[in-house]
Amino acid sequence: MIFNSAVFIYFFIVVLTVCYFFAARKTPRNIQNVFLLIVSYIFYGWWDWIF
C-alpha cells in the first residue's frame, strides 16, 4: 500500500486520527499508542503480508 493511495488518505489518516483523539479523553496514552501500532501493522500488512 502506498502512502498516496485513497485507502491511506481516507482511512488511515482521517479515520484513525479522529478515533485516536476521541480515545484521548477516556484512555491512557500507552493504550492509544498500542492501538495505533496495531492498526499500523494491519494497514501495512493489508497490501502484502510478507512485508
Q: With respect to residue 41, please indicate whether it lies within any of the assigned structural domains.
A: yes
pLDDT of residue 48: 67
* DSSP label at residue 5: S
In a domain, residue 23? The reply is yes
Whether 31 maps to a domain, the answer reads yes
Residue 1 inside a domain? The answer is no
Give the global pTM: 0.56
- Domain residue limits at 25: 6-47
> Is residue 15 predicted with pLDDT exceeding 80?
no
Question: Per-residue pLDDT averaged across 3-32, rounded?
Answer: 77
CB of 40 closer than 8 Å to CB of 47: no
The answer to the question of residue 22 being in a domain is yes
Average pLDDT over residues 10-20: 77
Q: Is residue 14 part of a domain?
A: yes
Report the domain count for the chain: 1
Mean of the per-residue pLDDT values of the chain: 76
Mean pLDDT on 34-48: 79
